[in-house]
Amino acid sequence: MPADETSSRAWHEIVRDTLKAHDVRLVTYVPDNVLRPLIEAIHADPFFTAFTATREEEAVGIVSGAWMGGMRGIVLMQTSGFATLPNVLASLPVPFQIPVLMMVSERGTLGEFNIGQAMVARTMRPALDSLGMEHHTLTRLDEVEFIVDRSIRQAVATQQPVCWILSPLLTGGKVFAK
């Protein structure tokens, strides 16, 4: 896709469109402020079945079940929510070979104001690496479509989960509320 066409869309519009292009219909999430425009764009489009889960691991269970039933899905969450997931990732999508898609809004870096967020964020990439999971940090608008498109293809073809981390470099992140 030409650069000018890509750059006319915001990151969340590119993600929404790329999910649709790959028939990813089910979206379960625990809300986050940075994810809000993506969540709103998804709810505004009847193509998607979208709803909140009470915990991130519950959402991974729902999307895993849906995949086995023939429906593709994604889990949206924040960094602190990802930190609750290593057990379910190690016991469900990774060993059962289920391509759960995950998108994490990155807190804890580049201007974080909550020490707990900063500390838990440091566990995310080591956890992904130690589980041998494919993950990519999205920092540039002109790379979003290529990375999301290619890694959905890879997840499905190799039957393995994938995680995208939305950097504040892409989204602006969350700044201190006065």
Partner 1 sequence: MSATMSNANHPLTRDQAKVMSRFDLISRMVRKLHKDEAVIGGIGYTNFDLWAAGRRPQNFYMLGSMGLAAPIALGVAIAQPDRRVIGLEGDGSILMQLGSLATIATRAQKNLVIIILDNGAYQITGGQATATRAGTDIVAMSRGAGIAQSFWAAEEGHFEELIDRAIAEDGPWLIGCRIDTAGPKETTERDPAQIRDRFMRGLGVKK
Q: Look up residue 42 and give its amino acid.
A: I
Give the range of 13-21, 34-42, 53-61, 124-132 binding partner 1 by CB under 8 A. Answer: 53-61
- Residue 33 contacts partner 1 per CB under 8 A: no
Q: How far is the CB of 152 from partner 1 (least distance, A)?
A: 17
List the x/- string, 76-115, binding to partner 1 by CB under 8 A.
-----------xx-xxx--xxxx-----------------
Give the range of 54-62, 107-115, 121-129, 144-152 binding partner 1 by CB under 8 A. Answer: 54-62
Contact residues for partner 1 (CB under 8 A)?
Answer: 26, 49, 51-55, 57-71, 73, 87-88, 90-92, 95-98
